[in-house]
Chains A and B, each alone.
Chain A
Amino acid sequence: MKIPFEKLDKAFENRLRLQIMSVLMVNERYDFNSLKELLDASDGNLASHLKALEKEEYITVHKSFLGRKPNTNYEASTKGKHAFKQHLDALEQIIKNQKTL
């Protein structure tokens, strides 16, 4: 049986990106600092992966100010949600196939 590895989304190969996406799936919006705390990631690492997801148009960025502090919120796009679901389906499929082997 052929294992559908090619169906896995390259954008989600990185674990942190997948984690970011799962948080944004169940929350309308999530801000940078809360994300950082939740995922226990460094500023630079998180920022670069967010950038990558933004480039794929999987997430949209909302910048605003809380007083004088910049506050960046992230939201999953329809495209991103769709891609995430497909990626999960593919993962599930792989597990199923391996069990029948």
Chain B
Amino acid sequence: MKENEIQDELTSIRSLMERSSKFISLSGLSGVLAGIYALIGAALGYKIIYGSGGFFSYREYVMADVNRQPMSLYTLILIALAVLVASIVTGVVLTFRKAKKKGQPVWGNTSRQLLFNMAVPLFTGGALMLVLINRGYFGVVASASLIFYGLALVNASIFTFKDVRYLGICDIFLGLLAGLLPGYGLLFWAIGFGVLHIVYGSIMYLKYDR
């Protein structure tokens, strides 16, 4: 065996270990787009909640407003769902495209594990949020959603790029902060789902997509 043959062998082993245990077709661009959707959603939500008034002056009024105007709550939930669906669709489409370009299977061992590990905290969080909304605890919903989303990312990061883990930790941290400052939920949402996704997506794009 020649030296470069052995080198080749070792390179192939390393690449196989990574390819077989990590899902590396996640698209960075979809992260940026998801962040933009979230910011648009947050802007729309802001308009509904705060109208044309100032951000800080209307805080107390807002907390009471949900009871007087239940429609605004439904509109908000609708916006949130629209952002969620648009982000998922974009993510799936762009990831499929990237996987195809790289000649990797999209639906394999790793993507299955990735989805499962992400889904458990995500659905738990989603269910808890419905319970919280139902019982009128609107103030902690933003906090809970960020925390559970962050946990889902940290959990799923074992099966993909390490960068996902840092995004998750940032979201958990933001979620806890949002819990300390009830009433600023929308702001934290805009940062956690909007700004962070754009930053993370850009990093991923520059690092792996090109």
Instruction: Note all chain B residues with C-beta closer than 8 A to A98.
Output: 3
| Cβ contact within 8 Å between A23 and B17 | yes
Identify which of A29-37, A52-60, A62-70 touches chain B: A29-37
B69 at interface, CB cutoff 8 A: no
Q: B84 → chain A, closest Cβ, in Å?
A: 30
Total count of chain A residues near the partner, CB < 8 A? 23
Bound form: Cα–Cα A98–B4 in Å: 11
| Cβ contact within 8 Å between B9 and A27 | no
Residue of B13, B17, B108 touching A37 (CB-CB under 8 A): B108
A91 at interface, CB cutoff 8 A: yes
Nearest chain-A residue to B16 (Cβ)? A22
| Secondary structure of the A contact surface, majority rule | helix
Instruction: Note all chain B residues with C-beta closer than 8 A to A41.
Output: none
* CB contact under 8 A between A18 and B7, given known A27-B109, A34-B108: no
Nearest chain-B residue to A98 (Cβ)? B3
Count: A-B pairs, CB below 8 Å? 51
| Cβ contact within 8 Å between B19 and A38 | yes
A11 at interface, CB cutoff 8 A: no
Instruction: Note all chain A residues with C-beta closer than 8 A to B21.
Output: 26-27
Q: A35 → chain B, closest Cβ, in Å?
A: 8
A61 at interface, CB cutoff 8 A: no
Q: B43 → chain A, closest Cβ, in Å?
A: 43
Contacts of B10-43 to chain A: CB distance below 8 A: 10, 12-13, 16-17, 19-21
Q: Considering residues A8, A22, A31, A98, which has the most beta carbons from chain B within 10 angstroms of its beta carbon?
A: A22
Nearest chain-B residue to A92 (Cβ)? B10
| Cβ contact within 8 Å between B7 and A95 | yes
- Enumerate chain A interface residues (CB-CB to B < 8 A): 5, 8, 15, 18-19, 22-23, 25-27, 30-31, 34, 37-39, 88, 91-92, 94-95, 98-99
Instruction: Note all chain A residues with C-beta closer than 8 A to B12.
Output: 15, 19
B71 at interface, CB cutoff 8 A: no
Instruction: Note all chain B residues with C-beta closer than 8 A to A15.
Output: 9, 12
Bound form: Cα–Cα A35–B1 in Å: 26
| Cβ contact within 8 Å between B20 and A94 | no
Q: A37 → chain B, closest Cβ, in Å?
A: 6
Q: A57 → chain B, closest Cβ, in Å?
A: 21
Q: A47 → chain B, closest Cβ, in Å?
A: 18
B6 at interface, CB cutoff 8 A: yes
Instruction: Note all chain B residues with C-beta closer than 8 A to A37.
Output: 105, 108
Q: What are 27 A-B interface contacts by the 8 Å CB criterion?
A: A5-B1, A18-B13, A19-B13, A19-B16, A22-B16, A22-B20, A23-B16, A23-B17, A23-B20, A26-B17, A26-B21, A27-B21, A27-B109, A30-B109, A37-B105, A38-B16, A38-B20, A39-B16, A88-B10, A88-B13, A91-B6, A92-B10, A94-B3, A94-B6, A95-B3, A95-B6, A95-B7
